[in-house]
C-alpha cells in the first residue's frame, strides 16, 4: 500500500546479474523493489543478465538502485557503464567499488593507512598455499580474493587441507587469498552517507552455530544469532565504529557499505576483514537490521539510499 508518491523519476532496481551471488541478489532486489513501490516510487526490476544496460537510457530510467552482489555488479563495471550513460546510481563509485571487491587490494590500502587487518598472502598455486600456511599458522582462511558471501571459503587446520582449500577458492577466482584466522567475536558495521557526513550504524555481533558463519548460516539458517545491541562495552563499540568509518573513507566509499570485523578474544584488538559496497537487503541481511536498531525502517532506508544516488562525474 503506497503512503504517497515520492518523485525520484523512473527507477531501475538492478538485480540478478551473472555473479555467483545471483540468487541472493534477486532476493535483495525483490525486497528493495517492493519497498520502493510501496512508498510510491516508480520503480522497476532490471536484470543485467537478461537485458543490455543500454536499455536503461533508451527506456528513460532516471536513476538506479544497485542490488547486485559480487562481480559484474559490485566491482565497478556496472558503475562505469552507468557513468557513461549518465544515470545516477546508489553506492560507491567506480574506483571504490573496484578496490573494495578485491580483498587483497583493500587490505594493502588499509595496511598502508595504518588500519588493522589480519596478516595475509596472495597465492596462485597449491604449493604457495602450503607455504602461506607455514608462514601464517593454523587456523588459516583460504578464499577467493574477489567473491563474497563466503563463497569458496575454507578454514584450514592443517597443511594436508591446503590443496582442497586452494582448489575450492580457485574455482571462483584466479586470485586466492590466504589470511590469518582471528579467534574471537565476529561483528559487522554498516555505514551510511559520504565523507564527513558518513555515519556508522550500530554494531551487530554475529553468533553462528559452531562458530561457522558460512553461506547456509548467513542466508537460510534461523539459528544464527544477530545481537544488536551487540553487548560489547560501549567504548569498544565506539572504537570499532570509528575504525570502520576510517576504513570506509580511506577507500573513498559513498552512499553505504558494510564492513566485517573480527575482535581478537585475547587482546580485544579489532581487525578489518573486508568491506561490501552493495550489501545484502534480504530478510536475513544485516544493514536493514542495524538500521532498524537506529530507528530507520527498511522502506525508509531504501528511499534514503535512492535519494543519495549520484555519479562520480557530474554532467556539465
Which one of 39, 274, 298, 299 is the catalytic residue?
274
Which one of 25, 276, 285, 290 is the catalytic residue?
276
Q: Is 219 a catalytic residue?
A: yes
Which one of 260, 271, 290, 298 is the catalytic residue?
260
- CA 92, CA 152: separation in Å to the nearest integer? 25
Q: Is 276 a catalytic residue?
A: yes
Q: Is 258 a catalytic residue?
A: yes
Residue 90 phi, psi (nearest 5): -75, 155
- The CA distances from residue 107 to 8, 120, 173, 183, in Å, are 36, 9, 17, 19
Which one of 213, 219, 271, 298 is the catalytic residue?
219
Omega cis (within 30) before 75? no
Which one of 19, 25, 98, 149 is the catalytic residue?
149
Q: Is 147 a catalytic residue?
A: no
Residues 52, 56, 61, CA angle at the centre, nearest 5°? 165
Which residues are registered as beta bridge partners of 11?
A: 43, 63
Which one of 22, 63, 205, 258 is the catalytic residue?
258
Q: Are the beta carbons of 78 and 53 closer than 8 angstroms?
A: yes
Which residues are registered as beta bridge partners of 262?
A: 186, 271
Q: Is 217 a catalytic residue?
A: no
Which one of 280, 285, 290, 299 is the catalytic residue?
280
Q: Is 102 a catalytic residue?
A: no
Any idea which residues carry the catalytic annotation? 21, 149, 219, 258, 260, 274, 276, 280
Amino acid at each position: 500500500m503506497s503512503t504517497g508518491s515520492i518523485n525520484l523519476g523512473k527507477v531501475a532496481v538492478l538485480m540478478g546479474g551473472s555473479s555467483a551471488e545471483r540468487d541472493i541478489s534477486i532476493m535483495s532486489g525483490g525486497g528493495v523493489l517492493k519497498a520502493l513501490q510501496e512508498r510510491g516510487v516508480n520503480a522497476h526490476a532490471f536484470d543485467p543478465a537478461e537485458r543490455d544496460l543500454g536499455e536503461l537510457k533508451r527506456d528513460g530510467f532516471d536513476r538506479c538502485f544497485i542490488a547486485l552482489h559480487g562481480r559484474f555488479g559490485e566491482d565497478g563495471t556496472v558503475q562505469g557503464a552507468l557513468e557513461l550513460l549518465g544515470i545516477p546510481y546508489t553506492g560507491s563509485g567506480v574506483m571504490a567499488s573496484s578496490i573494495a571487491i578485491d580483498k587483497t587490494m583493500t587490505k594493502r590500502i588499509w595496511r598502508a593507512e595504518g588500519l588493522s587487518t589480519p596478516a595475509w598472502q596472495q597465492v596462485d598455486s597449491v604449493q604457495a598455499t602450503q607455504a602461506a600456511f607455514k608462514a601464517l599458522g593454523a587456523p588459516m582462511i583460504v578464499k577467493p580474493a574477489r567473491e563474497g558471501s563466503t563463497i569458496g571459503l575454507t578454514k584450514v587446520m592443517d597443511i594436508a587441507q591446503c590443496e582442497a582449500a586452494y582448489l575450492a577458492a580457485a574455482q571462483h577466482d584466479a586470485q586466492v587469498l590466504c589470511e590469518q584466522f582471528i579467534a574471537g567475536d565476529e561483528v559487522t558495521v554498516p555505514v551510511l552517507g559520504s565523507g564527513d557526513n558518513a555515519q556508522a550504524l550500530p554494531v551487530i555481533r554475529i553468533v553462528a552455530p559452531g562458530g561457522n558463519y558460512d553461506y547456509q548460516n548467513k542466508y537460510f539458517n534461523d539459528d544464527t544469532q544477530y545481537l544488536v545491541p551487540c553487548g560489547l562495552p560501549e567504548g569498544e563499540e565506539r572504537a570499532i565504529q570509528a575504525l570502520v568509518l576510517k576504513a570506509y573513507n580511506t577507500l573513498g566509499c559513498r552512499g553505504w557499505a558494510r564492513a566485517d570485523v573480527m575482535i581478537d578474544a585475547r587482546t580485544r584488538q579489532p581487525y578489518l576483514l573486508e568491506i561490501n559496497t552493495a550489501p545484502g537487503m534480504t530478510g536475513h541481511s544485516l544493514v536493514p537490521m542495524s538500521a532498524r536498531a537506529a530507528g530507520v525502517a527498511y522502506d525508509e532506508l531504501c528511499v534514503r539510499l535512492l535519494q543519495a544516488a549520484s555519479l562520480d562525474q557530474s554532467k556539465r
